[in-house]
Amino acid sequence: MSETIKTDVLIVGAGPVGLFAVFELGLLDIKTHLVDILDKVGGQCAELYPEKPIYDIPGIPYITGHGLTDALMQQIKPFNPTFHLNEMVTSLEKTGDPGFRVTTDGGKTFECKCVVVAAGGGSFQPKRPPINGIEAYEEKSVHYAVRKMENFRGKRLVVVGGGDSALDWTLNLQPLAKSLTLVHRRDDFRGAPDSVNKMRALVADNKMDLKIGQVTALEGSDGVLAACAIKGNDGTVHRVEVDAMLPFFGLTMKLGPVANWGIEMDDELIPVDTGTFETNIPGLFAIGDINTYPGKLKLILSGFHEGALMAQKAHRYVYPDKKLVFQYTTSSTSLQKKLGVA
């Protein structure tokens, strides 16, 4: 199931800087698609601090991460970008001068003139618990996400964590599973109260088990789990026979596949030219927290500036025969038409 999507520019990362790049490119008639590994737009603003204040967006004395994301979505609406969420860009290949073919883990292929890497601190990926040898069981028996519930039918499951992901999957998988044990470090859950009540009712009916403590060891062979050791807060260790374990400890940022795209890197960051924010590969740009240059500051406002300059250079690649005339949104009727306000 592969589809090829043609676009002018593909933006990798739908955080604030990726979103604002849509605006700057849109003003220059450049069409964009965005890919993001999260299931929502906003990047760190959405994942790490949706309700936390930001005080240094020019002209906006105070806004939350969620508020800024919403405002940017409203600002770029006239340009109608297409979002591909829950997908990670896995490979990037140069096909022209410039021209790129980019594929995602969702089976999509993009063909585009330019690529803008606005990947911030990298991809948000599940935290791996520090249990000896856990890597060997990943894919087969240890799962950080549920792709198909059916895969867990009739299995003995251990779910680890105390948030909504752990509780939701506990409630969804319990009816299918042969047995289910939820493990959490304390007898208090931050998940939605309704989910907590439902889980407690299942425990009271002996339909599932709740253990307070942490998983400290795994047993099995060839990537197939047989049992895990759960250490209670009182120090006692229980051995639980298990076919699959699902740990939910939230997400962490990892650089991910960007490192394999042939871009020159400097300590997990991408050096760029500060006039164009282009990398060592023509037509491939890097803006926001993922780039580096003398004096770089990891501020959202810097990423906005970088996007504006990037768009000027991208225009030369997308419309090589058109002369770009600099215009202000305040006075240009043509820009205002694009924004739907003229």
Which residue ranges make up the site for other proteins (CB under 8 A)? 44, 48-49, 52, 121, 127-130, 161-163, 184-186, 188, 190, 214, 249-250, 252-254
Residue 44 vs 302, nearer CB to other proteins:
44
Closest CA to 131 of 261, 200, 220: 220
C-alpha span between 282 and 40 (Å, rounded): 30
> Whose Cβ is closer to other proteins: residue 161's or residue 288's?
161
Determine contact, residues 253/86, Cβ cutoff 8 Å: no
Nearer to other proteins, 176 or 253 (CB): 253
Q: Which residue's CB is nearer to other proteins, number 50 or number 282?
A: 50
Burial of 208 (0-12, 13-18, 19+ CB in 10 A): buried
CA distance 241 to 244: 9
Pairing between β-strand 237-241 and β-strand 224-232 as defined by DSSP bridges: antiparallel
The nearer residue to other proteins, 236 or 331, going by C-beta atoms, is: 236
* Cα separation, 178 vs 238, whole angstroms: 19
Q: Please say which residue, 183 or 287, places its beta carbon nearer to other proteins.
A: 183
- The encoded tokens of residue 277 equal 């924010």
State the nearest-atom distance from the C-beta of 264 to other proteins, in Å: 24
**Shortest distance in whole angstroms from residue 18 CB to other proteins:** 19
Q: Which is nearer to other proteins, 188 or 222 (CB)?
A: 188
Q: How far is the CB of 192 from other proteins (least distance, A)?
A: 13
Q: Is there a contact between 251 and 145 (Cβ–Cβ < 8 Å)?
A: no
* Closer by beta carbon to other proteins, 75 or else 214: 214
Q: What is the closest distance, in whole angstroms, from the C-beta atom of residue 160 to other proteins in the complex? A: 10
In this structure, what is the dihedral angle of CA atoms 124, 93, 296, 70, given to the nearest 10 degrees?
-50
CB 278 within 8 Å of CB 299: no
Q: Exposed (0-12), middle (13-18) or buried (19+): which is 144, by Cβ within 10 Å?
A: middle
Cross-strand pairs, 110: 5, 102
CA distance 342 to 327: 15
> Rounded to the nearest whole angstrom, what is the least distance from the CB of residue 273 to other proteins in the complex?
27
Token pair for residue 21?
């790049």
DSSP 232: E
What one-letter code names the amino acid at 128?
R
Beta carbons of 47 and 38 less than 8 angstroms apart: yes
Two tokens, residue 195: 């989910």
Nearer to other proteins, 161 or 220 (CB): 161
